[in-house]
Structures are given as C-alpha cells and as structure tokens.
Structure 1
Amino acid sequence: MLLSLLLCYGGFTALCFSMDRHHAELLGRKPSPRLRQLLKVAGWLLLGLSLGVAVSVADWQLGLVQWFAVLMLSALLLVLLLPYRPHLALALAGVSLLVSPLAALAQC
C-alpha cells in the first residue's frame, strides 16, 4: 500500500504542475505545451500504475477500496501542502518517486 501511496502522490503532483498556474507559482514560468503534455501523461500513468499495484497486492474488491483511500490521502496531502509549502510538495513528489523502487522491492 505504501508503493501505491507514493505513486499516487507523484501522479497527482505531476498533474498539478501540468497546470499553468501551479507551474508558474513554483518555477516562475509557464510550462511549454510539450512539457505540459508530458506531465499530464506521466501523472495519469502513475495513477494507473498505482491502481495496478493496489489490485495486485489485494484482490479487486479490497484493492479498489485501498486504492481509493490512498488516492484521497495523497490528494489531501497535496492540497494541504500546495498553498503553504509548494517547494515541500514538489520535494516530496521527487522523494516519493525515488523511494518507490525501494518500496516495490520490499513488497516482493
């Protein structure tokens, strides 16, 4: 479930920073159309991968329930961090993506 949480947070952060407003607040410039599209694709892929991880750990019924719980928790964390600590939100996304292979190894 930790791996699913890390992937969800990274996915939501990528989707969040694909928006002009949030990208400009943090980096001082708007993303290029190519970068915006890349962030959107990466965000949706990470969210889909987190669903796959949640379902593979548990069966479909329990996996979906756990995935929705992780989805809400990661979105809440991002929504609470973004207005007050946007740099921390971005740093946590980077850490979550770096730690996710270790979590995948621990899950095996």
Structure 2
Amino acid sequence: MLLAALLCYAGFTALCLSMDRHHAELLGHKPTPRRRFGLKLLGWLLLSWSLWAAVVAAGWGSGLVQWFGMLMLSALLLVLLMPYRPHLALSLAGLSLLASPIAVFAQY
C-alpha cells in the first residue's frame, strides 16, 4: 500500500500544479498550456497507477477500499500543507516519486 500512497500524493500534487495559482505560487510563473496539459495527464496517470498498485497489493475488494482511503489521506495532506508549507508539499511529491521504485521492489 506504500506504493499506492506515494503515487496518490504525487498525482494530486501534479494536478495541483496544473492550476495557474498553485503553479505560480510554487514555481514563480504561470504554466504554459502545454505544461498544464502535461501536468494534468501526469496527475491522472499517477492516480490510475495508484489504483493498479492498490488492487495488485490487496485484491479488488480490499484494494478499492484502501485506495479510496489513500486518496483521502493524500488529498488531506496536500490540502493541509499548501497554505502553510507549500514548498514542503512540492518536496514531498518529489520524494514520493523517488521512493516509488523502491516501494515497487519492497512490494515483491
């Protein structure tokens, strides 16, 4: 489930960065339309991969329930970090992407 949690958080952060306001706050400039589309695509891909990781880890019955829990927890963490520590939220997303391959190997 660690892999699903890491991918959920990174996916929500990518979706967050696809918005003009958050992108400008974190990176200092507004995203181009191409970058906005790329971030949205990346965010949805990461969220779908997190669903796959949860289902592989626990099966369809428990995996879906655990995946929805991971979605809520990662969204809550991002919502709580963005107003007070936005750069920490971005750093955690980078760390989650770096730790994802390690979580893949730890799962098997």
State the TM-score, normalized to the length of structure 2. Answer: 0.99
Q: Offset of 1:26 from its aligned partner? A: 1.2
State the partner residue of 2:66. Answer: 66
CA displacement 1:43-98 (0-9 Å, x = unmatched): 00000000000001111110000000000000000000001000000000000000
| 1:22 maps to 2:22 | yes
Secondary structure at the counterpart of residue 74 of structure 1: helix
- Amino acid of the residue matched to residue 8 of structure 1? C
CA–CA distance in 1 between the matches of 2:9 and 2:26? 17
CA–CA distance in 1 between the matches of 2:47 and 2:97? 12
State the partner residue of 2:45. Answer: 45
> Identity of aligned pairs, percent?
72
RMSD: 0.5
Q: How does 1:1-108 map to 2 (within 5 A)?
A: 1-108=1-108
Unaligned residue ranges in structure 2 (runs of 5+): none
Q: Offset of 1:106 from its aligned partner? A: 0.4
Q: Offset of 1:31 from its aligned partner? A: 0.3
CA–CA distance in 2 between the matches of 1:29 and 1:81? 20
Structure 1 runs of 4+ aligned residues shifted over 4 Å read none
CA–CA distance in 1 between the matches of 2:75 and 2:59? 23
Unaligned residue ranges in structure 1 (runs of 5+): none
- Amino acid of the residue matched to residue 43 of structure 1? G
- Amino acid of the residue matched to residue 44 of structure 1? W
How many corresponding residue pairs? 108
State the TM-score, normalized to the length of structure 1. Answer: 0.99
- Amino acid of the residue matched to residue 69 of structure 1? G
